[in-house]
Structure 1
Amino acid sequence: MTEIYATDALRIQSNPIMDNTGASASTGSEIPRDVTEMIKTSLNSIGGRVVFIPYDPAFIQNQMVTKYSSFSNKVIPNVILSGGITQFDRGLVTKGENTDANIEAEIKGIPDFLPSKNVGVRYGDEAKSGLASITLDFNLLDFETMAGVPKMNAVNTMKVHKAVAGKELSLSLIGQTFGMKGTVKKVQGRHAAVRLLVELSMIQIAGKYLALPYWRLVGQDAVPDKVVLDAVRGYYYSLSEQHVVAVAQQWLYLHGFNVPQTGQLELATKQALRSLYPKYNDTEGKISPEGFEAIWINIPITQEALRRRHVLEQLLQQAQASSQQPPVAEISPAKESPPQALPERTERTVAAEKKPTAQNQGKAIEDETHSNAQLAPLNRQGIGRFLSEKEW
């Protein structure tokens, strides 16, 4: 997803992530004490343009002492991940029920020397269940300032159940009793739940920072992230109508439509828009914020889309080589602006679409090479900056 959406590289380092509740010690490790390794695995498995940088100063120092390496080429992170297990509530709901039935009768005519003249049947069952809750909190810190990145956090909770059930059946004949009894206990794994929460949180926090529709990876019933949608909507409002069309045409190409990259709403672009966004109105002469958002969210995550991204980047590089104007970037992460002048492009720029400019327009992308395609002129926008609360 990071490659298809052409985001900048996210270099992330994690603090030690521990159990902040102390329940791991008091409950005999019912939940893990340290989830740092789970964090490492989750971040490193994302791949693409997300780079995980481990935090192990003792190892680096020891290696430098032994002169195996000076680590002069070590990579500096953009952001630091902090957090921990912040909630483990046991016994939130406890339920119990049981059934006991006993039938007994006396049989006449049985000799008196037997211990009993009674026969009986007894049945019983018992069930107990409990509910617990586990919560993990994560935040992103800017590496240079060690200040929290506004709205870049993930808080996820999972309910886990535990249940015990048992049944008993006995038969009594003339003073002799025999029967059977069994129990079953089912527990939803606490450690497995924590791992699932870690993986979900890493997808969420990386997706927020890179302004990606990460909820598409979670499931069809996942709720879109308002922080990401606000970033897309803010990017739309920062562009002129021609630039909106130019950006949408590149996204349409990733969808599989070979539309001309002209920055103009010609017939082919309108047809592609109608097929992806049925509410598109030809009479308006522009792309609405809702249509712009729908095209962006539904870019396919396929090998074909990745191939088209590589073709498009080659095209844009060729066009940029013949143009003096720098490329326009797309969506910035949610950040606060300092009072001084806004900085130029930084490495925290999120979901940057490398859109160069060209003097000539109107050539359509019709095959894989598209070496002669022309791109609409785009002006550079201020990106990679901290947004104020008012802007959000």
Structure 2
Amino acid sequence: MKIRLMLVPLLAMSLLAASCKQPTDVTLPVEAPKATETSYSQALKKFGRLTREFRVGTLRVQTTQVQDETGSSQATGAEIPFDITKMIMSSINGIGGSIIFIPYDPVYIKNQAALNFTTLEGKTKPDIVLNGGITEFDRSIESGSSGIDFGGTFGAGKNSPSVDMGKQDRDSVSSITIDLNITDIETMAMVPRVQAVNTMKVFKAASDLDLGFSIFGASFGYKSSIKKIQGRHAAVRVLVELSVLETLGKYLNLPYWKCVDQGAKADPVVIENIRDQYIEANQQSRVRMIQNLLYVYGFRSLRASGNLDAETVTGIKAVSAAYGFPAATLDENFYEQLFLNAPVLGAKSKVQGSAAAIAPGMTLDGATPGGASVVGRAPSQSAQPGLPLNVEIKTDKAVYKQGEKIRITVKGNKDFYGKIVYLTADGQTVQLLPNGMRSLDFFKGGRTYTVPEDSDGFSLDVAPPYGAERIMLYASESPLPAVKTRSLGEGAGGMLNLEGGQQALTKLSRGIKVSQAAPSKPVATESREAAPPMKPQQAPGASASVLERAIAITTKAK
């Protein structure tokens, strides 16, 4: 009995000692900063590479302020972000390749100009603007719970130990939707069907585990609450990156879905666009579109001339045999397969060897090089058939100093063929476009072209002699007659000198009407290379008006 009485105070002292607060040494986990990446961060970088593989010209993108349009960000205590503009900016700027982001901050630029830190001239102008917002946020659209309780007493008597246990699981699903659209900066009209409306479901799960013990009537408890929540802000970033990838991919008509997964399902909007583009193109333009894709298949020496020459025919035959789709009729179905099977982003081409390794002289079934017919539906008329051709040519300023670079922009209201010629102060006549580095002579209506483009292998640097000079543009809805030229030599960036000087220019308009226009006022503008042309071709020298445009500039020493 004495032993039992002695155990009672010893047990009480033990419980008292256990209840005393001991100093706690807390060790916090240390984690180094790391880059924030989502499921689509790498896909955006691959998209930048894709623009290079398809030789897309520079596309300059801007965004307006994109916010939460539901009001939930304020009503729920910022469960979702109110402004996602910065996320969109980071997504676009992280693409690289041919995509350049142009920030929208007119107040900052104006203040910098007021401080004479910069001027308002020469600023890069965007081609398109992204706009949209968070349009849906539905909380707990699905929810459920389950639980289990357990309790019991061990032994008999008033002070017998007992244990109670309760476990409760709950989960809920929320939905977030983002809309993004593209507006053309020149027309301020939204581009039809180029949009992204994506929804993500965010799952929230909670598990509460309650344990209660009773020893001799004195209870202590341990409670653990574990939550695994896919952060809503992180979910919004994923949606932003996916939506940026989709909208720009649709705008450029690129197989952007391959940036996510090589086996992903193709976007029907892009497929419809490239089919319509091919259908509405004339024969020469269709061949040019095929040649551009053959370049992606590995035929690097093939130039987009628009002529169904022997090299193009061998390339078509080799790709058709390697990938197993027919090429006897080069219609829109053939072009779709050529587009869908293009080996991009490191995918190895199934074509063995290069075009040079394929036996020359191979022809398509029933066709001969240079004379094959590219079958398809009848080409459509020009976008503005009732209006005469009107073309604008501009420079970023009127006076240039030694060492400065000249940038020229060209835009027509309808498809046209054109040549750009530079008349120097000492009387030389230099053909700027087309040249040995850039063979472009067809311009798509409604698109703005820059000469030189960022991706070109030449630049226009001001050098002596100085004085009054002119930049001439000759434009027509028919291909312009060829003019005899000679190279200016190495280091001239592929520039060509017109033999015969200014008198040779009369050949461009011989036997046809010439419309003279006053020199255009220089205006700062930037743009990108257009998509493959779709203007029905007329024979060179056919009766059609030739539009002549001129810009007067002045060059001088520093």
Mapped contact 1:252–1:259 kept (Cα < 8 A): no
Mapped contact 2:54–2:296 kept (Cα < 8 A): no
The 5 Å alignment of 1:257-268 reads 262-263=308-309, 266=313
Q: Of residues 81, 84, 90 in structure 2, which corresponds to 1:32? A: 81
Identity of aligned residues (%): 37
Mapped contact 1:151–1:227 kept (Cα < 8 A): yes
Shift of 1:67: 1.4
Counterpart in the other structure of 1:169: 211
Shift of 1:211: 0.8
Counterpart in the other structure of 1:300: 343
Shift of 1:272: 2.4
Q: Of residues 152, 167, 170 in structure 2, which corresponds to 1:103? A: 152
Is 1:235 aligned to 2:277, yes or no? Answer: yes
Q: Of residues 162, 173, 176 in structure 2, which corresponds to 1:134? A: 176
Shift of 1:163: 1.5
Shift of 1:150: 1.1
* 1:181-227 deviations in Å (ceiling 9; x for gaps): 32101111111111111111111111111111111112346432222
Mapped contact 1:10–1:348 kept (Cα < 8 A): no
Whole-angstrom distance in 1 between the partners of 2:325 and 2:55: 27
Q: 1:192 to 1:258 in 2, by over 3 A?
A: closer
Moved more, 165-174 or 2-11: 165-174
Whole-angstrom distance in 2 between the partners of 1:141 and 1:85: 18
Q: Of residues 99, 118, 124 in structure 2, which corresponds to 1:50? A: 99
Is 1:273 aligned to 2:312, yes or no? Answer: no
Shift of 1:243: 6.0
Q: Of residues 414, 421, 431 in structure 2, which corresponds to 1:343? A: 414
Larger of the two Rg values belongs to structure:
2
Mapped contact 1:259–1:268 kept (Cα < 8 A): no
Shift of 1:161: 1.2
Moved more, 249-258 or 20-29: 249-258
Alpha-carbon RMSD: 3.4
* 1:294-324 deviations in Å (ceiling 9; x for gaps): 222333334799xxxxxx9xxxxxxxxxxxx
Counterpart in the other structure of 1:12: 61
Whole-angstrom distance in 2 between the partners of 1:230 and 1:188: 36
Q: 1:126 to 1:83 in 2, by over 3 A?
A: same
Whole-angstrom distance in 2 between the partners of 1:29 and 1:292: 49
Shift of 1:152: 1.6
Mapped contact 1:245–1:287 kept (Cα < 8 A): no
Moved more, 193-202 or 5-14: 5-14
Mapped contact 1:245–1:263 kept (Cα < 8 A): no
- TM-score w.r.t. length of structure 2: 0.51
Whole-angstrom distance in 2 between the partners of 1:18 and 1:338: 37
Counterpart in the other structure of 1:62: 111
Q: 1:147 to 1:241 in 2, by over 3 A?
A: closer
Whole-angstrom distance in 2 between the partners of 1:304 and 1:183: 48
Instruction: Give the match's secondary structure for 1:272.
Output: helix
Instruction: Give the match's secondary structure for 1:382.
Output: coil
Q: Of residues 224, 229, 234 in structure 2, which corresponds to 1:192? A: 234
Counterpart in the other structure of 1:330: none
Shift of 1:240: 5.8
Is 1:147 aligned to 2:189, yes or no? Answer: yes
Shift of 1:270: 2.1
Whole-angstrom distance in 2 between the partners of 1:184 and 1:340: 69
* Residue identity in the other structure for 1:248: I
Instruction: Give the match's secondary structure for 1:83.
Output: strand
Instruction: Give the match's secondary structure for 2:180.
Output: strand
Counterpart in the other structure of 2:124: 75
Moved more, 38-47 or 267-276: 267-276
Instruction: Give the match's secondary structure for 1:46.
Output: coil
Mapped contact 1:242–1:263 kept (Cα < 8 A): no
Q: 1:197 to 1:3 in 2, by over 3 A?
A: same
Shift of 1:267: 5.8
Q: 1:129 to 1:304 in 2, by over 3 A?
A: closer
Is 1:223 aligned to 2:265, yes or no? Answer: yes
Q: 1:11 to 1:266 in 2, by over 3 A?
A: closer
Q: 1:219 to 1:137 in 2, by over 3 A?
A: same
Instruction: Give the match's secondary structure for 1:248.
Output: helix
Q: Which has the higher contact order (CA 8 A, sep 6+)?
A: 1
Counterpart in the other structure of 1:156: 198
Mapped contact 1:122–1:170 kept (Cα < 8 A): yes
Instruction: Give the match's secondary structure for 2:136.
Output: strand
Moved more, 127-136 or 165-174: 165-174
Moved over 6 A (4+): 258-261
* Residue identity in the other structure for 1:203: L
Mapped contact 1:11–1:53 kept (Cα < 8 A): yes
Instruction: Give the match's secondary structure for 2:53.
Output: coil
Q: 1:217 to 1:103 in 2, by over 3 A?
A: same
* Residue identity in the other structure for 2:212: S
Instruction: Give the match's secondary structure for 2:247.
Output: helix
* Residue identity in the other structure for 2:414: P
Whole-angstrom distance in 2 between the partners of 1:226 and 1:21: 30
Mapped contact 1:260–1:269 kept (Cα < 8 A): no
Q: 1:243 to 1:258 in 2, by over 3 A?
A: same
Moved more, 252-261 or 214-223: 252-261
Q: 1:340 to 1:119 in 2, by over 3 A?
A: farther
Q: 1:52 to 1:346 in 2, by over 3 A?
A: farther
Whole-angstrom distance in 2 between the partners of 1:129 and 1:266: 61
Counterpart in the other structure of 2:223: 181
Mapped contact 1:118–1:174 kept (Cα < 8 A): yes
Q: 1:269 to 1:258 in 2, by over 3 A?
A: farther
Whole-angstrom distance in 1 between the partners of 2:135 and 2:533: 43
Shift of 1:233: 0.8
Instruction: Give the match's secondary structure for 1:168.
Output: strand
Q: 1:193 to 1:99 in 2, by over 3 A?
A: same
Mapped contact 1:126–1:167 kept (Cα < 8 A): yes
Q: 1:65 to 1:257 in 2, by over 3 A?
A: closer
Shift of 1:245: 5.5
* Residue identity in the other structure for 2:198: N
Counterpart in the other structure of 2:245: 203
Gaps of 5+ in 1: 111-115, 306-311, 313-335, 360-378, 384-392
* Residue identity in the other structure for 1:297: L
Whole-angstrom distance in 2 between the partners of 1:144 and 1:340: 21
